[in-house]
Structure 1
Amino acid sequence: METKVTAVNGHGHLTIGGLDTVALASKYGTPLYVMDEDAIRANCRALKNSMDAHYHKKGLVLYASKAFCCKRMYRILNEEGLGADVVSGGELYTALQAGFPAERIYFHGNNKTADELTMALESGVGRIVVDNIAELELLGALAKAAGKTASVLFRIKPGIDAHTHNFIRTGQIDSKFGFALETGEALQAVAAALKTPGIRVAGIHCHIGSQIFDIDPFCHAAEVMLGFAQQVRAELGYTIEELNLGGGFGIRYVAQDDPKALESYMEAVSKVVLGFCETNSFPVPFICIEPGRSIVGDTGITLYTIGSVKTIPGYRTYVSIDGGMTDNPRYALYQSAYEAVVANKAAQQKDFTATIAGRCCESGDLIQENTQLQTPAVGDILAVLSTGAYNYSMASNYNRVPRLPVVMVRGGEDSLAVRRETYEDLVRNDV
């Protein structure tokens, strides 16, 4: 399976953004993340243009930083006119260090610390998404003490089953995130905020899950959220100005995946929003969405060097690579499906069944099991596709393995976006 950023060249090698992955592996070493910056920018523009078209330029695309976060990424987002959704002080700090405009930053999280909220207030972030009453009270006190006003959204659980993995479903009543509608706590929270000094209620937010292929759950979520906005107006006399509908649009990891075009989501949901507002004489709110994976996920690959091919007769063959769960923990966590290619044999047929094993001292350190590859050999370069999201951002130093570098490809040129960690980096904070 080729992706939107990969192809096979005349040497039979896998390419990304037109560049030979075998040559990139030789130049930068492995393991290595490679991302197509042109494709990232194209995704940003497609989403922004669709948002502008369907909501008459009264909306904002917020990139979900947790998918992939580094200073280069924030510079790209700024140049493309997007906003940023951050979920920690670290992501906020990175964005600010990259010169990203604070007013286009929305700060999320279910347990923000006082220090993080203070940083958000001092830097002037555009919105703080409040998750619970304790946070509302803390934010109000901090804002009052600082002589500032915090513009907030409330994270609402719309009770939507998004048909996705249990670990990445976030819209149901027993989720750790946000306020429930069914219990009345969401309405109580808005009522409390309207009376809290230092707090300005800007709007409401929801996010129903990740890697969702169906459009209907997004449409249903929009209906539920607008219904709640109507309830707020009717019972509290306050008109919600902003509606953030979150993200979660699915991408293609393997051939069986069938994601809809991003334009399809935007068109369908906008019809629901505009239709509801017209029918109920409700002012159309400023609309935000928070795509992450759908901007970067299928723009990246990871390159490894095969260190051994170990066959256990009658059982399986392990193809061992010089990376693993430290750079891609998603198979260990979710049994996530990936497509893999022997990059220097990409033109050949896949005729070999293998389990891709990582280098960690951990039996669960696998990337895929019983997957099809071109016949592998020691020293071959293995590429795992669609690793642009939740790989670098979820990487760890387990077994004291240094984190990988990130190379960006743009206009047929490659450049380093994140340096490879060194052993010295690993001990830098040890005392």
Structure 2
Amino acid sequence: MLSPADSPAPEWLVVPDDPNDLVASVWPASATRDVDGGIEIGGVRATTLAQTYGTPVLVLDEDEVRGRARAFRLAFDAAAADNGTTAQVYYAGKAFLCTTVARWVVDEGLRVDVCTGGELEVAIAAGVAPASIGFHGNNKSVAELERAVEVGVGTIIVDSAIEIERLAAITARIDATQRVLVRVISGVHAETHDFLATAHEDQKFGFPLADAEAAVARIREIPGLEFVGLHCHIGSQIFGVAGFRESAERVLELHAALLDGGPVPQLNLGGGFGIAYTRVDDPTPIETLAAEIVSAVAEGCAARGIDVPALSFEPGRAIVGTAGVTLYEVGTTKDVELGSGVTRRYISVDGGMSDNARTALYGAQYSARLASRQGVGEPRLSRVVGKHCESGDIVVDHEYLPADLAPGDLLAVPATGAYCASLSSNYNHVPRPPVVAVRDGRARIIVRGETIADVLARDAGLDAPHADGDQ
């Protein structure tokens, strides 16, 4: 066994006693190994899923999504009731959105937030009541805003002075009234990747606290706009509650000042709660998040002698992330000498950064397990890579996998339910994989996979005549 100083593995990566184990915090609750040693999700074998739908395939556990949505709603409802107010929970469409998932979360009592016209149309097509939709985004087009106002979106979260004036013109033209929240930057620096932190001052979202009063005053002047409160979001993949407590304290100072000019019935504190991607990740329990964040708001309101507003939260990936598992087929393996007798095994799979861009974008860490059978042999330090023509095409940067893993085996990467399908692409003209829902031993496609024909269908050159001698 290598000493820590000699090993290319990061310090946090633990050599497992059993490289076939399924760490409960990382996998859907239904994930088990069957009598033959293969992985099952939602009562459906990984081998059956791969044979039926091909690989890569994103498998989404319906009960996991529903259960986590319900748990967040119940936790925030209880915490709000304990502090004399109410709470709403919004599902983040950007994490992963299709009509089926939208219906699941609405069934469990959640609202839906969207940040583009496309996401809005998916939610509407799913039958989500427009009044329960929140519309985010730093650069909503005039057409997107018009559509949102026309269908009766519950709240638009305004992000700039220009957007306020666009909404003023739209509501005047179609004689409508639109409820709006003002997004503010609290200045709290979340402990997360720089690209996932959204409350530091030097970034594209929202109004600095110093500018927010003027923005609210302008909204209150406009007949077609109804100011209903503030919105603040400090980032994503956040553990603990300290950042949320500090952010709430700062935003409540502004909230209290705005009461002099009229009612401020709502406060949306965002969310972005973290999940476990590896065995060392330790996400804060849902009940703890709800109780401590709502209590912090109530304490801040009591200190200022004001009523606790109606609260809203956006858990983000925490609802859908753990529900997803991506299955790949292993194509090749090779051992790479790193010097001093140290090697790393590279395992190439039939997907990559086109179906999971997070490792390349953020240096995100994932886990992996042999899915088609039990592996044998001493765990070997491995790196799971994709098929794309990029050295940064890494799916799982560091993992210990069985020594006998070989071409043709299935590999499962858990915690891929959020920001994988939604960030997928056709890089290298690779078709995007299907999304398959599993529950009670049954599987069904909820997003169809693409074919090469689908990819070629966008190429207008195929319809153009080809003249002899064209270069």
- Identify the TM-score tier after normalising by the shorter chain: over 0.9
CA distance in 2, matches of 1:382, 1:227: 50
Query: 1:158 aligns to what?
Result: 186
CA displacement 1:48-92 (0-9 Å, x = unmatched): 111211112722100011111111111112211210010000100
Residues 301, 346 of structure 1: CA spacing in aligned structure 2 closer, same or farther, 3 A cutoff? farther
- For structure 2, the residue ranges without an aligned partner over 5 or more in a row are 1-21, 461-471
CA distance in 2, matches of 1:350, 1:329: 30
Query: 2:142 aligns to what?
Result: 114
Match of 1:367, as an amino acid? V
Aligned to 2:104, the other structure's residue is in SS state helix
How far is 1:370 from its partner? Answer: 3.9
Q: TM-score, with normalisation over the residues of structure 1? A: 0.96
Q: TM-score, with normalisation over the residues of structure 2? A: 0.88
Query: 1:421 aligns to what?
Result: 450
Pair 1:192 & 2:218 matched = yes
Q: 2:92 aligns with which of 64, 79, 86?
A: 64
Larger Cα Rg: Structure 1 or Structure 2? 2
Q: 2:410 aligns with which of 357, 381, 384?
A: 381
What pairs with 1:111-260 in structure 2 (closer than 5 Å)?
A: 111-181=139-209, 184-234=210-260, 237-260=261-284
The answer to whether the 8 Å contact 1:350/1:372 transfers is no
What pairs with 1:15-414 in structure 2 (closer than 5 Å)?
A: 15-56=40-81, 58-181=86-209, 184-234=210-260, 237-314=261-338, 315-346=343-374, 348=376, 351-375=379-403, 376-414=405-443
How far is 1:26 from its partner? Answer: 1.4
Higher deviation after alignment, 306-315 or 64-73: 306-315
Aligned to 1:219, the other structure's residue is in SS state helix
| Count of residue pairs the alignment pairs up | 427
CA distance in 1, matches of 2:337, 2:188: 47
How far is 1:278 from its partner? Answer: 2.8
CA distance in 2, matches of 1:350, 1:367: 22
CA distance in 2, matches of 1:220, 1:7: 40
How far is 1:346 from its partner? Answer: 4.1
- For structure 1, the residue ranges without an aligned partner over 5 or more in a row are none
Aligned to 2:315, the other structure's residue is in SS state coil
CA distance in 2, matches of 1:194, 1:23: 58
Aligned to 2:346, the other structure's residue is in SS state strand
CA distance in 2, matches of 1:363, 1:136: 44
The answer to whether the 8 Å contact 1:8/1:347 transfers is no
How far is 1:350 from its partner? Answer: 6.0
How far is 1:9 from its partner? Answer: 1.9
Query: 2:9 aligns to what?
Result: none
CA displacement 1:108-166 (0-9 Å, x = unmatched): 00010011101101111000000000111111111111111111000010110111111
CA displacement 1:266-304 (0-9 Å, x = unmatched): 000111122222332312211110112100111111000
How far is 1:318 from its partner? Answer: 1.8
CA distance in 2, matches of 1:293, 1:261: 14
CA distance in 1, matches of 2:378, 2:236: 30
Aligned to 2:76, the other structure's residue is in SS state helix
How far is 1:427 from its partner? Answer: 2.9
CA distance in 2, matches of 1:98, 1:399: 32
Query: 2:13 aligns to what?
Result: none
Residues 349, 412 of structure 1: CA spacing in aligned structure 2 closer, same or farther, 3 A cutoff? farther
How far is 1:197 from its partner? Answer: 2.7
How far is 1:310 from its partner? Answer: 2.1
CA distance in 2, matches of 1:259, 1:291: 12
CA distance in 2, matches of 1:291, 1:44: 9
How far is 1:348 from its partner? Answer: 4.5
CA distance in 2, matches of 1:346, 1:187: 61
Match of 1:212, as an amino acid? I
Residues 121, 321 of structure 1: CA spacing in aligned structure 2 closer, same or farther, 3 A cutoff? same
Residues 349, 269 of structure 1: CA spacing in aligned structure 2 closer, same or farther, 3 A cutoff? farther
Match of 1:66, as an amino acid? K
CA displacement 1:282-337 (0-9 Å, x = unmatched): 12211110112100111111000011112234453321100000000111111111
Query: 2:37 aligns to what?
Result: 12
CA distance in 1, matches of 2:129, 2:265: 22
How far is 1:401 from its partner? Answer: 0.9
How far is 1:400 from its partner? Answer: 1.0
Aligned to 1:294, the other structure's residue is in SS state helix
How far is 1:349 from its partner? Answer: 6.2
Match of 1:52, as an amino acid? D
CA RMSD, 1 decimal: 1.4
The answer to whether the 8 Å contact 2:28/2:41 transfers is no
Match of 1:393, as an amino acid? S
